[in-house]
């Protein structure tokens, strides 16, 4: 069904009313900003009515209350988002915060799915509310599009690959670009894996476009959150190919830790690869910082030509061809969960 049928259930909601008005002829454009981060990392939206509780749990990273831009008595926004703050005050922006559901298991993924699909808490949909609306207005898309009536994309997504919110029964109703500025629009690992399995899964951590290797996907939101967080100190092993041979002196510097712009980069081990040229290096570390391996070598004047992750949390990609995936064994799942539980202690 189109979004109109679902929205009537809560037609008194101001945001729902605004969305319904946009179903008719208008030159207005709806922009949805989905924020990364949360109370375990970067705060973007603050629950002011729960600030004291949040401070008790996250005092080491919580922004002082005096620095927060107040939207309402209950909600504030990060001062770096002053532009959104001004739009809110002008009545041109709204905030959707904290989607809860019965038997809450702290999975941000499930909460996000509920918001993107407009589903009830006990149902699972494979279409988003925006995708259903666009399908209602422009049936049969993408067959016959673009055309003289609609020469432009129905929607544009900037950031990750097309999310569930802009899908209609598996059909993307949107053009998208990656934040990595990949003008070729190449597929992500989720685009490859998701159509072949029955459950929606999410990556534990991430690999950039220029890095190959092992990536773990799971439908366990709590496990993904635990193992992805930098504080979990999950051990990862990489094989790096440099643009030139790594000098022994520089290898020793890396082993002892090099200073980067965001602090000292400590590693667990580094060595030349047996039988390989001196520009092929094995490095083990548990840091979760962005592009950490590349930045370590770049700090000493080396470029990383190839980077491959060969191990993550004790799991390896042995006998798994590039571009393929397999299900973890029961033993491997147990080991991952044990690892996650151990990190919580």
- Please identify every residue annotated as catalytic: 208
Residue 212: beta bridge partners? 308
Q: Which burial class, exposed, middle or buried, applies to 3 when counting CB atoms under 10 A from its CB (0-12, 13-18, 19+)? A: buried
DSSP string, 323-335: T---PPPHHHHHH
List the structure tokens of 47: 């629950």
The dihedral over CA atoms of 233, 238, 241, 245, expressed in degrees to the nearest 10, equals: 70
Can you give the three-state secondary structure of 122-176, one letter per residue?
Answer: CCCCCCCHHHHHHHHHCCCCCCCCCCCCCCCCCCEEEECCCCHHHEECCEECCEE
Is 76:48 a contact under the CB 8 Å cutoff? yes
The one-character DSSP state at 197 is S
- Alpha carbon of residue 55 to chain centroid: 25
The one-character DSSP state at 41 is S
Q: How far apart are the C-alpha atoms of 243 and 208, rounded to whole Å?
A: 19
In the chain, where does DSSP find H-type helix? 3-7, 14-21, 51-58, 82-89, 108-117, 129-137, 189-193, 221-228, 248-256, 292-298, 330-344
Residue 24: beta bridge partners? none
């Amino acid at each position: 069904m189109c979004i109109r049928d679902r929205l009537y259930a809560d037609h008194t909601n101001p945001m729902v009313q605004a969305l319904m008005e946009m179903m008719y002829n208008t030159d207005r454009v709806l922009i949805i900003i989905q924020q990364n981060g949360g109370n375990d990392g970067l705060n973007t939206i603050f629950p002011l009515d729960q600030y004291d509780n949040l401070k008790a749990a996250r005092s080491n990273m919580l922004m002082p209350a005096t620095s927060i831009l107040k939207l309402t008595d209950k909600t504030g926004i990060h001062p770096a988002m002053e532009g959104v703050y001004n739009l809110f005050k002008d009545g041109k922006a709204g905030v959707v915060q904290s989607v809860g559901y019965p038997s809450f298991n702290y999975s941000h993924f499930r909460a996000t799915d509920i918001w993107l699909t407009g589903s009830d808490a006990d149902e699972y949909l494979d279409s988003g509310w925006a995708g259903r609306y666009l399908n209602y207005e422009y049936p049969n898309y993408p067959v016959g599009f673009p055309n003289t009536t609609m020469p432009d994309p129905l929607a544009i997504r900037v950031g990750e690959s097309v999310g569930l919110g802009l899908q209609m029964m598996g059909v993307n109703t949107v053009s998208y670009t990656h934040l990595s500025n990949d003008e070729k629009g190449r597929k992500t690992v989720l685009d490859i894996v998701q159509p072949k399995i029955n459950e929606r899964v999410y990556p534990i951590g991430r690999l950039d476009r220029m890095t190959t290797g092992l990536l773990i996907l799971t439908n366990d939101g709590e496990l993904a959150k635990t193992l992805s967080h930098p504080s979990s100190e999950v051990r990862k092993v990489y094989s790096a190919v440099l643009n030139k041979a790594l000098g022994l002196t520089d290898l020793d510097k890396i082993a002892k830790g090099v200073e980067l712009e965001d602090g000292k980069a400590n590693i667990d081990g580094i060595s030349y690869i047996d039988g390989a040229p001196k520009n092929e290096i094995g490095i083990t570390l548990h840091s979760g910082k962005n592009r950490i391996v590349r930045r370590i070598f770049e700090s000493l004047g080396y470029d990383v030509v190839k980077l491959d992750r060969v191990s993550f949390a004790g799991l390896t990609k042995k006998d798994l061809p590039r571009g393929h995936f397999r299900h973890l064994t029961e033993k491997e799942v147990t080991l991952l969960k044990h690892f996650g539980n151990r990190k919580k202690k």
